[in-house]
Amino acid sequence: MTEVVAGLVRRDGRFLICQRPKNKTLPLLWEFAGGKVEPGETKEAALIREFREELGVTLSVGEIFIEVTHTYPDITVHLTLFHAAIAAGEPQLLEHNDLRWIKPEEIPLYPFCPADVEILKKIQTDF
């Protein structure tokens, strides 16, 4: 099982989503920014590193919002989504194809990665 972390970053009643690059698995699907936890790294440290690498921002990590496990044809991921806030910087497209700040009611307008389905349901009820 692969440990993956992501951040639920809110701003003005919206939350941040990112579109995967064309050249990666699940191309152009939407997701929460984050990535794999490296050996010896805490989940929180991994999330801070991923946001710095992918979006060029400094992140403040809060409590866990939800944890889900999803099996894709080639990999099983355990995804931990943390409440998070941008402590410094403005998100840049360093790796993703696009990014958006959306409201929970806009979720149906974006095709998300399958692992995010359960998370999105929780956001629609608990945002």
CATH of 2-126, one of 3.90.79.10, 1.20.140.10, 3.30.565.10, 3.40.50.300: 3.90.79.10
Give residue-wise pLDDT tens across range 11-32.
999 999 999 999 999 999 999 9
The token pair at 42 is 């805490």
CA distances from 77 to 1, 2, 28, 80, 87 (A): 6, 5, 19, 10, 28
> Can you tell me which residue has the tokens 């984050």?
34
Give residue-wise pLDDT tens across range 75-123.
999 999 999 999 999 999 999 999 999 999 999 999 999 999 999 999 9
Domain boundaries, the chain: 2-126
